[in-house]
């Protein structure tokens, strides 16, 4: 019996037999492919790709920049209340993921001074160019544009105190990969903020695939590998919820 076992091990080592367990690389690749589902029949405002039962929305194109900057936005979304609820402080490094033309980045630039900065990440170069001009016109010097990709933010590991996504997460083509990347960019104890239109409320006048329930946000963000724990949900905005997670602090040495 013992001899048979040794022989089997030898065969597997020599590549003469296939081990039962797939290699961890192929197992990882398989689970990444299984993560998303494509459906033929779907909402016309979505891309037909589903993640954890939710259809992913189309990315807002550069043509939508003027809508982001509309003069009625403060009245409709109360952005100043949102920024106040973040409790930013001088010296903070903040990432505005899906910054668009920079409306939110610019609002966060002042509260992190002196010493702090806003890293404005977007996948569309036209948005980042517009954001740069917007900052120049206003004399804002602590906003740094970063060109990200569909799967990577371009942020350095453990470099950010707070990352925020305002009306963005629901349109990530690869939400799992983006959350993995963003959670790695947070410092231990750093915060990740989702601002999404409330799907729980049918009176919120936004297309269905552009809304998310708080339960859906939590289900997607609280996967153990991200190391994120729900901290609080702030209910100060008329149309959106502000769902905040915290990156687990590093374990204390010796524990």
Residues within the interface to ligand SAM (CB under 6 A): 59-60, 68, 97-100, 103-104, 121-124, 127, 148, 150, 166-168, 171-172, 178
Pick 60 or 228: Cβ nearer ligand SAM: 60
CB neighbour list of residue 84: distance below 8 Å, 6 or more residues apart? none
CB of 56 to ligand SAM, least distance (A): 10
- In the structure encoding, which two tokens stand for residue 157, read together? 């590991």
CB of 62 to ligand SAM, least distance (A): 8
Check: CB of residue 242 under 8 Å from CB of residue 236.
Answer: yes
* CA 41/CA 43 separation, integer angstroms: 7
Pick 193 or 228: Cβ nearer ligand SAM: 193
Pick 168 or 221: Cβ nearer ligand SAM: 168
Check: CB of residue 147 under 8 Å from CB of residue 97.
Answer: no
CB of 115 to ligand SAM, least distance (A): 24
User: What is the b/e burial string over 25-62, where b = at least 16 CB atoms within 10 angstroms of the residue's CB?
Assistant: eeeeeeeeeeeeeeeeeeeeebbebbbeebbbbebbeb
Q: Could you tell me which of 195, 198, 190, 255 has the C-alpha nearest to residue 228? A: 190
Pick 145 or 148: Cβ nearer ligand SAM: 148
CB of 98 to ligand SAM, least distance (A): 3
CB of 106 to ligand SAM, least distance (A): 10
Pick 37 or 74: Cβ nearer ligand SAM: 74
């Amino acid at each position: 019996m013992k001899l048979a076992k040794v022989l089997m091990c030898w065969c597997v080592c020599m590549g003469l037999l296939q081990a039962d367990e797939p290699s961890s690389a192929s197992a990882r690749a398989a689970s990444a492919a299984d993560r998303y589902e494509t459906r033929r029949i779907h909402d016309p405002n979505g891309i037909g790709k589903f993640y954890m039962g939710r259809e992913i929305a189309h990315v807002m194109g550069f043509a939508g920049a003027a809508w982001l900057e509309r003069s009625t936005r403060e009245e409709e979304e109360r952005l100043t209340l949102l920024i106040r609820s973040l409790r930013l402080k001088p010296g903070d490094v903040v990432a505005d993921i899906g910054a668009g033309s920079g409306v939110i980045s610019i609002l966060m630039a002042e509260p992190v001074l002196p010493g702090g900065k806003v890293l404005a990440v977007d996948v569309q170069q036209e948005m980042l160019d517009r954001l740069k001009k917007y900052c120049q016109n206003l004399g804002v010097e602590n906003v740094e544009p970063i060109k990200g990709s569909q799967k990577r933010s371009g942020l350095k590991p453990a470099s950010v105190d707070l990352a925020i996504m305002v009306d963005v997460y629901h349109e990530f083509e690869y939400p799992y990969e983006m959350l993995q990347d963003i959670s790695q960019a947070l410092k231990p104890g750093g915060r990740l903020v989702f601002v999404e239109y409330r799907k729980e409320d049918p009176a919120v006048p936004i297309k269905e695939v552009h809304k998310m329930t708080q339960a859906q946000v939590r289900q997607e963000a609280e996967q153990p590998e991200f190391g994120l724990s729900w901290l609080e949900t702030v209910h100060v905005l008329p149309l959106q919820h502000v769902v905040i997670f915290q990156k687990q602090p590093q374990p204390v040495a010796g524990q």
